[in-house]
Structure 1
Amino acid sequence: MLDRIAECLFWIGRYTERAENHARLLDVYYHLREEDGEEAEATWRRIAEAIGDCALYEERYEAYRENDVLFFLTLDWTQPNSILSCVEQARNNLKKIREQLPAELWNLLNGFYLWLKGVRTEEISQMSPHGFFQGLKERLAAFQGMAVSIALRDESWHMLESGRYLERSENVVRLLRSVGRIAPERRKGAYGYTVALLKSVGGYEAFRRLGQDDLTLEGVSRFLVLQEAFPRTAHFSLAAFERHLKDMRRESGKSVPALDRTIRLAGKARSELGWLDRDDITFDTLNSVLQQLLETNRQLGEAVAGTFFSPEREVTA
Structure 2
Amino acid sequence: MSMLERIAESLFWIGRYTERAENHARLLDVYYHLREESDASGDTVWKRIAEAIGDTALYEERHEAYRERDVIHFLTLDTAQGNSLLCCVSHARDNLKKIREQLPAELWNLMNGFYLWLKSVKLDEVLQDSPHGFFQKVKEGLAAFQGTAVSIVVRDESWHLMEIGRYLERSENIVRLLQSVRRTLPDSKESSYGYTMALLKSVGGAEAFRRLGLVEMSLEEVCRFLVLQETFPRSVQFAIASFENRLKSLRGQADKSGSELERVIRLAGKTRSELGWLERHDLTLDNLDSVLQQLLSSNRQLGDAMDKYFFSPGREVTA
TM-score under structure 1 length normalisation: 0.94
Which residue number corresponds to residue 212 of structure 1?
214
AA aligned opposite 2:300: R
Q: Which range is displaced more, 127-136 or 65-74?
A: 127-136
Post-superposition offset of 1:254 = 8.8
> 2:103 and 2:110 mapped to 1: Cα distance?
12
Q: Which amino acid in 2 is paired with 1:152?
A: V
- Structure 1, unaligned stretches of length 5 or more? none
Deviation at 1:31, TM superposition (A): 3.3
Alignment of 1:114-263 (within 5 A): 114-126=116-128, 128-185=130-187, 188-189=190-191, 191-252=193-254, 256-263=258-265
Summarize the alignment of residues 2-41 of structure 1 with structure 2, pairs less than 5 Å apart.
Answer: 2-41=4-43
The alignment yields a C-alpha RMSD, in angstroms, of 1.8
SS in structure 2 of the partner of residue 212 of structure 1: coil
Return the alpha-carbon distance in structure 2 between the equivalents of residues 289 and 262 of structure 1: 22
Structure 2 CA distance, aligned partners of 1:128 and 1:240? 35
1:28–1:199 Cα contact (<8 Å) kept:
yes
Q: Which amino acid aligns with 1:210?
A: L
Contact 1:179 1:194 in 2 (8 A): no
AA matched with 1:81:
N
Identity of counterpart residues, as a percentage?
Answer: 68
Evaluate the alpha carbon distance shift between residue 209 and residue 299 of structure 1 in structure 2; reply closer, same or farther with a 3 A threshold.
same
Q: 1:230 to 1:189 in 2, by over 3 A?
A: closer
Q: What is the distance in 2 between the residues matched to 1:315 and 1:20? A: 18
TM-score (norm 2): 0.94
Amino acid at match of 1:292: Q
Query: What is the identity, as a one-letter code, of the residue corresponding to 1:64?
Result: Y
1:283 to 266, 285, 306: 285
Shift of residue 215 of structure 1? 2.5
Kept in 1: contact 2:189–2:285 (CA 8 A): no
Q: Distance in 2 between matches of 1:254 and 1:70?
A: 42
Alpha carbons 1:15, 1:87 under 8 Å: kept: yes
- For residues 76-127 of structure 1, the C-alpha deviation after alignment (integer angstroms, 9 at most, x for no partner) is 0111111001000000111111111111111111111111111110011235
> Take 2:4 and 2:118, find their aligned partners in 1: how far apart are those partners?
31
* Unpaired segments ≥5 residues, structure 2: none
Question: Equivalent residue of 1:249, what SS?
Answer: coil
What is the alpha-carbon distance in structure 2 between the residues aligned to residue 259 and residue 72 of structure 1?
Answer: 38
Residue deviations 1:13-56 (CA, integer Å, cap 9, x gap): 00000000011111121233234332222222222222212222
Write out per-residue CA displacement over residues 268-315 of structure 1, whole angstroms, 9 at most, x where no aligned residue.
11111111111211122111111110111011111111121136x654
Provide the C-alpha distance between the structure 2 equivalents of 1:95 and 1:224, rounded to a whole number of angstroms. Answer: 34
| Shift in CA distance, 254/23, structure 1 to aligned 2, threshold 3 Å | closer
Instruction: Determine the C-alpha separation between the residues in 1 that align with 2:67 and 2:201.
Output: 24
Counterpart in 2 of 1:293?
Answer: 295
Matches within 5 A, 1:74-153: 74-126=76-128, 128-153=130-155
Q: Secondary structure at the match of 2:39?
A: coil
Query: How far apart, CA to CA, are the structure 1 residues paired with 2:218 and 2:162?
Result: 35
State yes or no: 1:54 paired with 2:64: no
1:211 aligned counterpart, secondary structure = coil
- Kindly indicate whether the alpha-carbon contact (under 8 Å) linking 2:167 and 2:239 is maintained by their aligned counterparts in 1: yes
- Asked if structure 1 preserves the Cα contact closer than 8 Å seen for 2:174 and 2:226, the reply is yes
**Distance in 2 between residues matched to 1:172 and 1:2, nearest whole Å:** 31
Cα 1:285–1:32 change in 2 (3 A) is closer
Query: Structure 2: which amino acid aligns with 1:18?
Result: R
CA contact (8 A) 1:14 1:166 kept: yes
Say if 1:190 and 1:287 are closer, same or farther in 2 by CA, change over 3 A.
farther
